[in-house]
Amino acid sequence: MSNFENHKRFMLLAQKYSLSNLGHTFPNPSVGCYIVDYKKNKKGKIVSFGKTGKNGRPHAEEVALKKAGKKAKGCTMYVTLEPCNHKSKNLSCTNQIIKSEIKKIFIAKIDPDKRTNKKSIKKFINKKITVNLGLTKEITENTNRYFFQSIKKNRPYVKIKMAISKDKKIAWSDYSSKWISNSKSRKYSHKLRFLSQSILTSSKTILKDNPRFTIRKNNKIIKYIPIIIIDQNLKIPLKSKLLKNLDKKNIIIFTNKIGKKFNKLNLLGCKMIYTNKMNNEGRLDLKEIMKKIYSFKINDILVEAGGIFLSNLLKNKLVDEMHIFQAPFNIGPNGKPMIYPILSNFNINKLHFKEITKKNFGKDVYHHFLVKNN
């Protein structure tokens, strides 16, 4: 095995380990780290490893260094993202690495966070620590694309989840259908929720479907994540399933209406956000709302709503990824469409959809797109 192949092997182990906490580290990225000793073995002996903890702390490097202790001296570190340079309860990861007397460090991807960006690398070089950049960079970019894109765009990374018919309808004309997708598709949908930081929906979706938006496994609730509701005229019914057991949930409602209902929802435990920022069509300004959501340290959103809401997100170039579950039957011309180009007054052809996954869940076809906003 060549030196390159050996280094790649350990970096791939770090990448694989980072995946085991994916969906738990928000708002931080999920990072993996391995510390390897080459002093007595040319192929390297693993001394310790770590991954980002739940809710983003402790960092992967901190975990690995704590496990290694004094054994880290003279070793090589493999880490999937540039170690942090900003202050924390303990020393920054960069200063902890320097203090440990690590001899060499492989970093897959530079951290775009201004507090760290290339600063850690400069510190390592100044302290005579050998730095190698870019090995398995693409894996880090893919694993934590929500993190990199949210920093770049200064808003949350937005994913769409939607079930459609063969003729691209999301419901019958009277909304009589509860489910379009099959049980296998719905099971995967819960996995998408599990890997997301929050869910964004509209009051119309709550009125029509009365969803719970829970994350379930074997019909048991395993996780609650923040639910964000766009409710311009405050139409959400107080008896909605979503408003039950509010002590376990974090419900955020954006509205343009203040009154008794606003105060009631506030007393129930909902986080009420009044906004008078409107777009030219008289709707709440979604771009401004996204900025506000980002200020709450929410950088990853799964949207579960209807065609009008999706159309407005697309029009405002606020969609980064789409998960579409297509059933094998037609609903017909009177069904509710997936996209409303006339209402939203935009040309969907200006958006570039790159399909990165296509597979079957029973007779349903699952399409996973990345959206490039031109």
pLDDT in tens, 9-26: 999 999 999 999 999 999
What is the end-to-end Cα distance of the chain in Å, rounded? 44
Q: Does the global pTM surpass 0.85?
A: yes
Determine how many CB atoms are found less than 10 A away from the CB of residue 159.
23
pLDDT in tens, 179-192: 899 999 999 999 99
What pLDDT, on a 0 to 100 scale, did the predictor assign at position 350? 66
Would you say 364 and 181 are in contact if contact means Cβ atoms under 8 Å apart?
yes
Dist. CA 229–CA 254, nearest whole Å: 6
Nearest to 271 by CA among 292, 245, 283, 253: 253
Which positions are catalytic? 61
What pLDDT, on a 0 to 100 scale, did the predictor assign at position 347? 62
* Bridge-based pairing state of the strands 215-217 and 198-202: unpaired
* Residue 345 pLDDT greater than 80, yes or no: no
| DSSP calls for 65-108 | HHHHGGGGTT-EEEESSPPP-S--SS--HHHHHHHHT--EEEES
